[in-house]
Structure 1
């Protein structure tokens, strides 16, 4: 369907889809404050307790590591003391951000920071030694290369598992863990998206169609997504050979105070709305009505009015013997 000049102008102003103003790297950075609030602290404390029984150095693998915000968080929240942290992500533009962010973090926190070769970072102070191995690689290529290596104590996945076929992938991922290794899977989307205030009779339809795009996502001809990943993980963990140690909600709740959002969370919201637009623009939905919905949601963000809630779950597990 050809977009009229008026609609095209509207999308340029409110969705910015015709410009380079949307950056996935900036989105990942912007959502860090959202994630910090959202992570389930009871599950986090259970992770801390479980790791206390493992001798240093702790070997951690994070899949879909993005720009390294979970690693930063583990440092900031005092989880890591002596560890080797392997961070993989398919997108090199994400991975290359990690050294810049960690060098800044190290300077602010009075850590020594060293780059060792092309893909290794070392952070140290009197009480810590953290070695970070960075790899820009597809998760399935990494699994194929490392399968059955059983070298990691902890497997971390943060806001990532709903992008893959979890049931088919977990057994291979688990083969990378040491016997009785731990798994910490956070911010797993679980089928509920809420925008307030209600503005349009299309609200329910747009959200339903958006969730359906997650279920229908295909990458390289294979199923790659699930809008109810969180609830399905309970059975999938058991089927793949792990026991559940703890679980809890980790909902994103983004709201304004005095018509302003915290930190860069307005950008985070704009990116979410843009993501919905790009997911639905080719769907069987009236383009003019979709565009108006998108315009109004962006406008609400600009006015400091939009509230966004997404239901998610955190799970902590351990491999069975």
Structure 2
């Protein structure tokens, strides 16, 4: 069982609890270990001194209740590795609300099933009452009513018998405790794994949603881009075709005009030298003006076609590159 639990914890990726499980198994395989806890530190210390002298074959482990809210490996090692648990409460002020909260927390954290509330410091009752015996019985009755059946109640006269009984049951207690702790650690590992799977599933859903939204946005942008590009190319094609028509008409008119003007010039050599430069200047000047007008006409039509300013700006950059 020990190897199976350790392997399962390691497989679940819970190396900390796998290490804790090995330590707990070593604790439970040795002599009887009894954890002692209490709200009053003085009461706990006195109890440990008393029982340690009388029961040297028992390993007494003090549990620090300040660690109950956020138990670390040390607290878990001490509590889960104990065969039994004693909660020490003074008879003069037995089991207040804070102590009951601690008992509930210990139960939630997996304290041993063999547990008892010990009514300590009976000698102090004589200082506060004329009938200590009657007061002790009344306190015991009240404590018994405040706790559930999983807790045993004992006083100083009953404690030695309770300890002896646990020593006789050591082998059985160790086996029961290993099963209980194993179930607890495996349940924690399973819960952690299920939470990780749930989070991973949630992340996958979010990613798929984002991808779907992104795909939709990309499709919309692509369709918009295709419409814009088609409109821009169509506009530029029409105006370019008109520019070519105008250029052809200009060149034809220029040719007719030149024929008449050249016929009036007697100096053929002068015409041969100056005509190319003059034609280049005239055509270049006409093309520059016409391209400027072409740009204005294209941009005007694009804006009238509800093209965005950004797309129109791109069109303005494209026009010179086409010519």
TM-score by length of structure 1 reads: 0.21
Higher relative contact order (CA 8 A, sep 6+): 1
Higher helix share: 2
